[in-house]
Amino acid sequence: MSTSEPTAEAVFNNPFGTRITPDEVIDTISFFDDWEERYRYIIDLGKQLPEFPQSLKNEELLVRGCQSQVWLLAREDQPNSIVQLAVDSDALIVRGLAAIVLAAYNGKSSRDILAFDIEHYFDQIDLLKHLSPTRGNGLRSMVKKIQLHAENMSR
Amino acid sequence: MSFSVDAVRAQFPILATSVHGKPLVYLDNGATTQKPQCVIDALNTYYSSQNSNVHRGAHYLSDVATAEFEGARQVVADFLNASREEILWTRGTTESINIVAQCYAREQLQTGDEILITAMEHHSNIVPWQLACERSGATLKVVPVHDDGSLDMEAYDALLSERTRIVAVVQVSNSLGTINPIAEIIAKAKAIGAVTLIDGAQAISHFPVDVQALDCDFYAFSGHKVFGPTGIGALYGKRALLEAMPPYQGGGEMIERVTFAASTWNELPYKFEAGTPNIGGAIGLGTAIRWLDNQDRVALEQHEASLLDYATERAGEIGGLRLIGTAPNKVAVLSFLLEGGHPNDVGQLLDQQGVAVRTGHHCTMPLMDRLGIPGTVRASLSVYNDKSDIDTLFNALNKVKTFL
C-alpha cells in the first residue's frame, strides 16, 4: 500500500468524485455529437488533475498495461474511511480518461468502490468503443488497481 | 512503362474505405502493407478451388496445390536472385531470424565469440541473439547510431574483430527509415570471416534486393510487408550453411526416413519446414511479388522519394514538429514528435480524422533510449500513397495542434 508523503498532499486536490460526478460526465459526453468536442472535453478533464511531482512518477505507482505512462496513488482517509485517489499520465487523452475513472471512485468508501458497475459506466459514456483494446486494457488495469486498493482497505 | 499512382491505388480496395466517417489515409505501411486485388483473388482461388495438402497427395488437387506452392517459392528465389533450395518458408522475419539464432548461432558459437548488431535493430533482431548468447556463452556487441539516425560506421570498423562470428544488421530502420550501407557492412564482415544476416523486413517493398550481389549469408523478410498475406515470410540462406545446420523443428515433411532408433532429414529446403506449411499464404506471397515485379520499380522508387521530399518539406512548416531520423539515405518514413503532445495523443487524434499512423517505441526500445525519447509518431509511406495523403496528414496535424 502506498501512502502519501506530506509533500504529495496537493496531488489529491482534484474535483473528481465530488464536484465532477459520473452522472455529470455521462450527461456531458452524450451531449456532444462530434469527436472534436468529445476529445476536447476529455482532455480538459485531464487538465484538472494536479501534476505529480517527479518523486511520485515511480515504478511502484506505475499502472501496467498502458501504452503511455500512468501513475496512480491511493490512500485511506481514516476518520471517514474513504479512499482518496490521485492519478497522472504523460499523455493528455489517457489523463482525461483516468480522470473519468476517478469521477467514479475518488472519495468513495471501499464498499462503494467494489459495488460500482464500471462496465455499465463505460458503456454509458461510449468510452471503450472509441478505444483500441490495448488502450482499453490500460484503463481496465487502472480500475483493477483501484479495486485492489479498496479490497485491501476493507480488510 | 508509364507510372500512374492512381492506377496503383485502384488495385488496393481497402484504400477506398472510410474510418470514423472519413476517407482512410493509410500511413502505417511499416507495420503492414495493404494487399492488391490480385493477392486477395489468389487466396480466394486457392481456398475455393485448389485447397489441398502439398507434396504427398495421390490426387489431382494435391498436385495443383504443390505446383502453386513450389511455384511461389521459385518466384521468391528469382526475386532475391537465389536458388529455390535456399528459400525456406517461415512465418515471417521474426521466425527467420530465430531459425538462424537457434540452428546456427547457438550451435556454432562459444564463450569469447561475439555477435554484432546495431542500436537501431527491431526487438526481433535483438532478443533471438540474446537467447543464443545465453546458451552459447557468446557476447552481444552493439554498433551505435549518430544523432541523425545513421549508423556509426567508424564504430562498426572498430567493433569488428576476429572474435566477431555473426553480424546481424537491419537493412532499413523501421522506426526512422534509415537505409544502412549493407553492401559495405557485409564486405567488411566477410573479410574477417563473420557470417552475415540481413533483416530485410522494411527494405523488401522499397527497392530490389540481390542476395548474390550483396553476398550475405542469410536474408530475412516478411510477406505482409511486401503486399502479401500475414503469417508467411522467407529466410534465404546459403546452401552450405543450411546443409550444415541442424533442423529447426521436428515433425512431418522435414524427414527422409523415421524409425524409433533415429531419423534422417529431408533435403533442402524441406529440412526446415516441419508440418503442413502456410500453403495459401505462400501462394499469396508469390502473387504479391509477381505483382511488384511487374511494376516499374524505378518509377516506384522515384515516386516514394518525391513523397518523402514533399513530406519532409511540409513537416518543416509545422511549428513544434521535430523530425526524428534525418539520415541522408532514407526510405519514405517520417518519424516525429509534436510539442506538447504524447505520440499516443497525436496518433489517436489523427485516427479520428481518418489518418492511420503508428505511435510508440516501434519495437525498438534501445533506439528510443539512445535518442532519449519515449517513442515517436511514425508515418510510413508506400507505393500507393500520394501527395493528397500527405496534405491530409499535415492538415490533420494542424488540427491536432489545437488540442495540445
Lowest mean pLDDT among A118-132, B186-200, B355-369, B382-396: A118-132
Q: Does residue B374 sit at the A interface (CB-CB below 8 Å)?
A: yes
Query: From CA B386, how far away is CA B350, in angstroms rounded?
Result: 18
The whole-model pTM stands at 0.94
Q: Which residues of B touch A90 (CB under 8 A)?
A: 342, 374
Which of B344, B352, B402 to substitute to test the interface with A, most A CBs within 10 Å? B344
Domain chopping of chain A, boundaries:
8-154
Q: What does pLDDT average to over chain B?
A: 97
User: Cβ(B376)–Cβ(B362) under 8 Å?
Assistant: yes
Question: How near does any CA of chain B get to the CA of A25, in Å?
Answer: 19
- Residue type at A89? S
Q: How confident is the model at residue A41 (pLDDT cuts 50, 70, 90)?
A: very high
**pLDDT exceeds 50 at position A1:** no
Parallel/antiparallel/unpaired status of strands B25-26 and B355-356:
parallel
Residue in B with minimal Cα distance to A89: B342
Question: How near does any CA of chain B get to the CA of A36, in Å?
Answer: 9
Which of B337, B338, B339, B345 to substitute to test the interface with A, most A CBs within 10 Å? B345
Instruction: Over range B146-175, report the average pLDDT.
Output: 98
Question: How near does any CA of chain A get to the CA of B311, in Å?
Answer: 25
What are the tens digits of pLDDT across the range B13-26? Answer: 999 999 999 999 99
Q: Do B403 and A67 touch (CB under 8 A)?
A: no
Looking at 3.30.300.30, 3.40.228.10, 3.90.1010.10, 3.40.50.150, the CATH number of the domain A8-154 comes to 3.90.1010.10
Q: Which residues of A touch B352 (CB under 8 A)?
A: 35-36, 39
Q: Does residue B284 sit at the A interface (CB-CB below 8 Å)?
A: no
Instruction: Over range B87-116, report the average pLDDT.
Output: 98
Q: Give the helix/strand (H/E) hosting B40.
A: helix B37-45
Place of cell 531520423: B325
Angle, helices A92-105 vs B343-351, to 10°: value is 90
Q: Does residue B349 sit at the A interface (CB-CB below 8 Å)?
A: yes
| pLDDT at res. A132 | 59
Q: Does residue B352 sit at the A interface (CB-CB below 8 Å)?
A: yes
User: Cβ(A63)–Cβ(A141) under 8 Å?
Assistant: yes
Write out the three cell numbers for B303: 515516386
Residue in B with minimal Cα distance to A41: B403
Query: From CA A142, how far away is CA A145, in angstroms rounded?
Result: 5
Query: Both ends of chain B: CA-CA distance in Å?
Result: 46
**pLDDT exceeds 90 at position A5:** no
Q: How confident is the model at residue B1 (pLDDT cuts 50, 70, 90)?
A: low
Instruction: Over range B374-380, report the average pLDDT.
Output: 96
A interface residues, B as partner, C-beta within 8 Å: 35-36, 39-40, 43, 67-69, 90-94, 135
| pLDDT at res. B279 | 98
Query: From CA B30, how far away is CA B378, in angstroms rounded?
Result: 9
Which B residues, 7 through 26, put their C-beta within 8 Å of a C-beta on chain A? 20
Instruction: Over range B172-182, report the average pLDDT.
Output: 98
Q: How confident is the model at residue A13 (pLDDT cuts 50, 70, 90)?
A: very high
Query: From CA B24, how far away is CA A18, in angstroms rounded?
Result: 41
**pLDDT exceeds 70 at position A72:** yes
What's the per-residue H, E or C state across B306-326?
Answer: HHHHHHHHHHHCCCCEEEECC
Q: Which residues of B touch A65 (CB under 8 A)?
A: none
What are the tens digits of pLDDT across the range A80-123? Answer: 789 999 999 999 999 999 999 999 999 999 999 999 999 889 88
- Residues of B marked active site are found at 363
| pLDDT at res. A4 | 44
Which one of A40, A68, A135 has the shortest CB-CB distance to B403? A40
- The burial of B177, by beta-carbon neighbours within 10 Å (0-12 exposed, 13-18 middle, 19 or more buried), is given as buried
Parallel/antiparallel/unpaired status of strands B263-265 and B255-258:
antiparallel
User: Cβ(B324)–Cβ(B71) under 8 Å?
Assistant: no
- Residues of A marked active site are found at 66
- Say how many residues make up chain B: 404
My answer on whether omega of the bond before B269 falls inside 30° of 0, hence cis, is yes
**pLDDT exceeds 90 at position A8:** no
Q: Do B345 and A92 touch (CB under 8 A)?
A: yes
- Alpha-carbon torsion angle A72, A73, A78, A79, nearest 10: -70
Q: How confident is the model at residue B160 (pLDDT cuts 50, 70, 90)?
A: very high
Residue in A with minimal Cα distance to B359: A67
- Residue type at A96? G
Q: What does pLDDT average to over chain A?
A: 87
| pLDDT at res. A138 | 77
User: Cβ(A10)–Cβ(A50) under 8 Å?
Assistant: yes
Q: Does residue B347 sit at the A interface (CB-CB below 8 Å)?
A: no
- Alpha-carbon torsion angle B303, B308, B309, B312, nearest 10: 160
Place of cell 501527395: B387
Lowest mean pLDDT among B22-36, B46-60, B76-90: B46-60
Query: Percent of chain B at pLDDT above 90?
Result: 95
Query: From CA A152, how far away is CA B172, in angstroms rounded?
Result: 50
Residue in B with minimal Cα distance to A96: B345
**Sign of the CA dihedral B338, B344, B347, B349?**
negative
Q: Which residues of A touch B376 (CB under 8 A)?
A: none
Q: Give the helix/strand (H/E) hosting B114.
A: strand B114-118
| pLDDT at res. A9 | 79
| pLDDT at res. A33 | 86
Q: Which residues of A touch B341 (CB under 8 A)?
A: 92
Look at residue B237 and give its three-state secondary structure: strand
Query: From CA B305, how far away is CA B322, in angstroms rounded?
Result: 20
Domains of chain B: 5-30+296-403 (3.90.1150.10), 41-293 (3.40.640.10)
Parallel/antiparallel/unpaired status of strands B114-118 and B139-143:
parallel
| pLDDT at res. A127 | 65
**pLDDT exceeds 90 at position B253:** no
Q: Which residues of A touch B19 (CB under 8 A)?
A: none
Q: Do A93 and B404 touch (CB under 8 A)?
A: no
Look at residue B25 and give its three-state secondary structure: strand
Residue in B with minimal Cα distance to A66: B344
Query: From CA B219, how far away is CA B215, in angstroms rounded?
Result: 10
Q: How confident is the model at residue A6 (pLDDT cuts 50, 70, 90)?
A: very low
| pLDDT at res. B289 | 98
| pLDDT at res. A153 | 81
